[in-house]
Amino acid sequence: MKVGFLGLGNMGTPMALRLLVAGHELSVWNRSEERTKPLVREGAIAAATPAEAELGSDAVITMLLDDAAYEEVLFGVHRLIDVLSPGVLHILCGTISMAVGERLTVEHANRGIDLVGAPVFGSASDAKDGRLWILAAGADKAVDRARPLLEVFSRGITVVGKEPHQAYAMKLACGNRS
């Protein structure tokens, strides 16, 4: 599958590496460009912008730092929300607030973009070993599309609802332990 991966921090990098090893075609972007270099050495394509990472992708996975990073990438300077193609799958693995989760749920639905909320539990070493635990929420068909990608870096997926923002509610209720 062709995947755009945005956010190559301590968790995102090992998650993206596992996708490469599993044979997925990866286009990667990070706010600090030097974070893409280890993945490029392994076969990923470096994207200059989030929109370039999404171009032609079947799915986009985001593992950004926090609400501010999601606001910047999706609604701020990069305006990724305006270039996501209808029908593309957006898997949001970061931990975000309920307010941002609800906004993203509505904005994606209004644009015909499948969104799966998929925050993770675990450490960077768990990500490297494919042992993250994932809470997933979204429409059944979107979760089904996301599952083969999520399984690459997880030991289990718990589906917690049909609305993407429900995954963030559950993650926040369980405590931010990742």
Q: What is the pLDDT of residues 99-149, one digit of tens each?
A: 999 999 999 999 999 999 999 999 999 999 999 999 999 999 999 999 999
pLDDT at 113: 96
Distance in angstroms (rounded) separating the CA atoms of residues 114 and 107: 10
The predicted model scores a pTM of 0.96
Cα distance from N-terminal residue to C-terminal residue, the chain: 27
pLDDT at 155: 98
Reported as a pLDDT band with limits 50, 70 and 90, residue 49 is: very high
Element (H, E) at 170: helix 165-174
Q: What share of the chain is helix, strand, coil (3-state, %, to 5)?
A: 45, 20, 35
Residue 177 has pLDDT above 70, yes or no: no
The percent of residues above 90 in pLDDT, for the chain, comes to 94
171 is catalytic: yes
Residue 22 has pLDDT above 60, yes or no: yes
Kindly state the average pLDDT of the residues 14-36: 97
> Of the listed 2, 37, 162, 171, which one is catalytic?
171
Element (H, E) at 28: strand 25-29
Query: For residue 30, with 0-12 CB atoms within 10 Å meaning exposed, 13-18 middle and 19 or more buried, which class applies?
Result: buried
Please tell me whether residue 55 adopts helix, strand or coil conformation.
Answer: coil
